[in-house]
Amino acid sequence: MATQASGKEVAPSGLSPATSTGNTADDVPTNPRGIPQAPFVDRVEDYVASRAEVEPTLRRFQEMISKYQFMEANLQRRVAGLDEKLPDIRKTLETVEFLRLRRQRAKNGDGDGDDDGGGSDVESNPDSFDDAAGNLTTTFELNDTLYAKAVVPPTHEVYLWLGANVMLAYPIDEAQTLLRQKLSAAQTSRRQCEEDLEFLREQITTMEVAIARVYNWDVVQKRKEGGAGESSRTAAAGDADG
């Protein structure tokens, strides 16, 4: 993808006024994640000097479109992955905040804790209740349609899955901070992906317009050459008749 978290995408390299005048590819403008801007073909003559250069230029433009489309597909897959990950992070964060609130309430002993984490779906679950010791009795999902009952005492630490079958224990406060950071990073990454996707769509459209302009220029030049050739033949025939 084109975000910094996943590494820089392969930059399309194609024909442009900058490269044709000897400047390096580093001079090509890019978006904040390093995706190069497509060249806008205003004057075809800036890119094609003769009809012999039309086919190579069209091939290079098409290669640029293919690279943009490749990056677009990667970003779409990343957005889909983030859309699956974000609800899990939010749900885990809500659970940790709820456990933190319960710990604070148990510490105060009066049922009034400092709720700086906002409301929680876990806390509003009608199947959950407290016993005299402050334990929480609830159910959790083992598999689809399969649930088990659990008694959760006030706790000072939680265990978080970090991926790749790795689980680590964290103090509740650290877990809350970590999850908030992960949620913020995932939201930022998704927003950047959407920005990059919109940017890529614009570049693909620009390149498609460029291809059409070069092709139309070639057609016009071909007609001019054909007209000039016909005029020459007519003039030659007139001279012969004379």
What residues contact 197, with CB distance under 8 A and at least 6 apart?
72, 75, 76, 79
187-211 pLDDT, tens digit per residue, is: 999 999 999 999 999 999 999 999 9
**Burial of 2 by CB count in 10 Å (0-12 exposed, 13-18 middle, 19+ buried)?**
buried
Given this model, what pLDDT does residue 23 score? 44
31-79 pLDDT, tens digit per residue, is: 999 999 999 999 999 999 888 999 999 999 999 999 999 999 999 999 9
Given this model, what pLDDT does residue 180 score? 97
pLDDT exceeds cutoff 80 at 186:
yes
**Lowest-pLDDT range of 20-34, 154-168, 201-215:** 20-34
Given this model, what pLDDT does residue 189 score? 97
Given this model, what pLDDT does residue 105 score? 80
**Lowest-pLDDT range of 118-127, 143-152, 220-229, 232-241:** 118-127
Could you give the CA distance from residue 172 to residue 155 in angstroms, rounded to a whole number? 8
Given this model, what pLDDT does residue 140 score? 83
Could you give the CA distance from residue 176 to residue 149 in angstroms, rounded to a whole number? 25
Given this model, what pLDDT does residue 37 score? 95
At 195 the three-state DSSP class reads helix
Helical axes 172-241 vs 54-108, angle rounded to 10°: 170
CATH code assigned to 33-106+132-211? 1.10.287.370
Could you give the CA distance from residue 197 to residue 217 in angstroms, rounded to a whole number? 30
In contact, 160 and 167? CB cutoff 8 Å: yes
Given this model, what pLDDT does residue 119 score? 47
Given this model, what pLDDT does residue 225 score? 82
Given this model, what pLDDT does residue 133 score? 62
Predicted model pTM? 0.70
Percent of the chain with pLDDT over 70: 72
